[in-house]
Structure 1
Amino acid sequence: MKWHSPFLLAVIVLMVACHKDEQQGVKEGNMADEYVSLARQSQSIDTAFKLFDRAEKFASGTKNDTIVYEVLSEKSNYLVSYRPDSLPQTLHKLRNVVKRLGTKTAFGFYQSKMGDYYLHRNQYDSAFFYYDASARLLQQAQTDSVTAAYDLMKVASIQQVYNDYRGAEGTATDGIALLKDKDTIILKELNNTLAISFSGIKDYQSALEYYERAAKLATDSLSKEVIEHNIAYTYGLMGNKKKASQLLTGLSKSKVINSEPYYRAMVLDNLGYVKLKSEGAEGLPLIRKALEIATETNDLESQSGIYLHLAEAYEEILPVASLDFYREAYATATAVNSIDNRTAALQKLSLLEDGSNAKKYISTYFRLNDSINEVRLKAKNQFAKWRYDLSESKKQNIKNQNQLALTKLQKERNNIVYFLSLCLLIVSAVLLYFILRSKYKK
Structure 2
Amino acid sequence: MKQHTFHFPFFILFLMLFLISCNEKTSHSSYLKYEDLSKKAEEFEKKYRFDSAYFYYNQAKSHIENHHEQWAYTLLKTATIQNYIGDHYGCEETITEALAHYQGSTYLPYFYNLLAISYHKQNSLEESLNYYKKASDLATNQLEKAIIQNNTGLIYLEEKQYQKAIQTLAPLLTDDALSKNPYELARVLDNLGYTQFLLQKQEASENLHLAWKLRDSLNDNIGLIASNMHLSEYYQHKNDLLAKEYAQKAYQSSQKANSPDDKLEALKWLTEFGDSNDSKHFYQEYIALNDSIIKARNIAKNQFAKIKYDSKKATQEVIKYKNQKSLLLALIGLIVVIAILLYKLYQIKTNENFNNPLISPKPEFPNAFMTNWRMMCLMQ
TM-score using structure 2 length = 0.73
1:136 paired residue number: 62
Q: Does 1:119 align with 2:119?
A: no
Structure 1: runs of 5+ lacking an equivalent: 1-65, 67-97, 416-442
Q: Does 1:226 align with 2:147?
A: yes
Structure with max Cα Rg: 2
Question: Does structure 2 conserve the Cα–Cα contact (< 8 Å) formed by 1:188 and 1:215?
Answer: yes
Per chain length, whose mean CA-contact separation is higher, i.e. which structure has more relative contact order (CA < 8 Å, sep 6+)? 2
1:365 pairs with 275, 286, 298, which one?
Answer: 286
1:246 paired residue number: 167
Q: For residues 139-181 of structure 1, what are the alpha-carbon distances to aligned partners after superposition, in whole Å with 9 as ceiling and x for unaligned?
A: 5xx5x72211111100111111111111101111212223223
Q: Does 1:345 align with 2:271?
A: no
1:145 pairs with 57, 62, 68, which one?
Answer: 68
2:94 paired residue number: 171
Instruction: Tell me how far 1:391 sits from its aligned partner.
Output: 5.5
TM-score using structure 1 length = 0.63
1:294 paired residue number: 215
Count how many residue pairs are aligned between Structure 1 and Structure 2: 313
Secondary structure of the 1:138 match is: coil
Q: For residues 171-203 of structure 1, what are the alpha-carbon distances to aligned partners after superposition, in whole Å with 9 as ceiling and x for unaligned?
A: 11212223223xx33222112111111112122
Q: For residues 262-291 of structure 1, what are the alpha-carbon distances to aligned partners after superposition, in whole Å with 9 as ceiling and x for unaligned?
A: 111110100011122233554222111111
Question: Does structure 2 conserve the Cα–Cα contact (< 8 Å) formed by 1:109 and 1:147?
Answer: no
Change (3 A) 1:133 1:396: closer
Change (3 A) 1:240 1:128: same
1:304 paired residue number: 225
Instruction: Tell me how far 1:324 sits from its aligned partner.
Output: 1.2
Secondary structure of the 1:279 match is: coil
Matched residues in 1 for 2:288 and 2:199: separation? 36
1:316 pairs with 237, 243, 254, which one?
Answer: 237
1:180 paired residue number: 103
Percentage identity across paired residues of the two chains: 30
Equivalent position amino acid for 2:170 in 1: T
Matched residues in 2 for 1:408 and 1:263: separation? 53
Question: Does structure 2 conserve the Cα–Cα contact (< 8 Å) formed by 1:185 and 1:217?
Answer: no
Equivalent position amino acid for 1:166 in 2: Y
Q: For residues 344-387 of structure 1, what are the alpha-carbon distances to aligned partners after superposition, in whole Å with 9 as ceiling and x for unaligned?
A: 11112234222443343233322222221111111122233344
Change (3 A) 1:392 1:237: farther
Change (3 A) 1:176 1:318: same
Question: Does structure 1 conserve the Cα–Cα contact (< 8 Å) formed by 2:62 and 2:318?
Answer: no
Matched residues in 2 for 1:390 and 1:114: separation? 16
Equivalent position amino acid for 1:206 in 2: E
Higher mean Cα deviation, 220-229 or 117-126? 117-126
More helix by share: 1
Question: Does structure 2 conserve the Cα–Cα contact (< 8 Å) formed by 1:150 and 1:175?
Answer: no
Matched residues in 2 for 1:135 and 1:395: separation? 12
Matched residues in 1 for 2:192 and 2:70: separation? 36
Q: Does 1:158 align with 2:84?
A: no
Matched residues in 1 for 2:255 and 2:321: separation? 49
Instruction: Tell me how far 1:129 sits from its aligned partner.
Output: 1.4
User: In angstroms, what is the RMSD of aligned CA positions?
Assistant: 3.3
Q: For residues 35-89 of structure 1, what are the alpha-carbon distances to aligned partners after superposition, in whole Å with 9 as ceiling and x for unaligned?
A: xxxxxxxxxxxxxxxxxxxxxxxxxxxxxxx9xxxxxxxxxxxxxxxxxxxxxxx
Secondary structure of the 2:61 match is: helix
Equivalent position amino acid for 2:79 in 1: A
